[in-house]
């Protein structure tokens, strides 16, 4: 059974870089059928797509001004993991961050989510 698990610091200081990893078990991230994505949800608010990566390494990002040019998504096939880096964080980046397997950008399996707070 496919499982995804987010990991990383729960507290990040303003202006620093948020780094999260998603470990996939029960399936390979090298599968040509799927994308692997990051989605976030500020407390009490809705869902926001951050970006996705294909098994080939091609990446797709949310062009929103609030995210543009700050996002890096990468794959580590040797560890069956994919990662998110979000630079120059502010309090507005405080959210629950989810990783998900996506079939044609539709999330069919999700991690449980991890809360990241941006505060000094």
Partner 1 sequence: EIVLTQSPGTLSLSPGERATLSCRASQSVRNYLAWYQQKPGQAPRLLIYDASNRATGIPARFSGSGSGTDFTLTISSLESEDFAVYYCQQRSNWLVTFGGGTKVEIK
- Chain contacts with partner 1 (rule: CB under 8 A): 37, 46-49, 52, 60, 62-64, 98, 100, 103-108, 110-113
| 19 vs 62 by CB, closer to partner 1 | 62
Shortest spacing between CB 85 and partner 1, in angstroms: 19
Shortest spacing between CB 105 and partner 1, in angstroms: 4
- As a whole number of Å, the end-to-end CA separation of the chain is 39
Give dist(CA 89, CA 118) in Å, integer.
7
| 16 vs 96 by CB, closer to partner 1 | 96
| 18 vs 53 by CB, closer to partner 1 | 53
């Amino acid at each position: 059974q496919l499982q995804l698990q987010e990991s990383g610091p729960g507290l990040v200081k303003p202006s620093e870089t948020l780094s999260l990893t998603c470990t996939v078990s029960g399936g390979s991230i090298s599968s040509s059928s799927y994308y692997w994505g990051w989605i976030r949800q500020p407390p009490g608010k809705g869902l926001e797509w951050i970006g996705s990566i294909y098994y080939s390494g091609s990446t797709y990002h949310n062009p929103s001004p609030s995210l543009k040019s700050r996002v890096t998504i990468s794959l580590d096939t040797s560890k069956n993991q994919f990662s998110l880096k979000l630079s120059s964080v502010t309090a507005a980046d405080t959210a629950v961050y989810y990783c998900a397997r996506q079939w044609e950008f539709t999330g069919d399996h999700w991690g449980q989510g991890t809360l990241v707070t941006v505060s000094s």
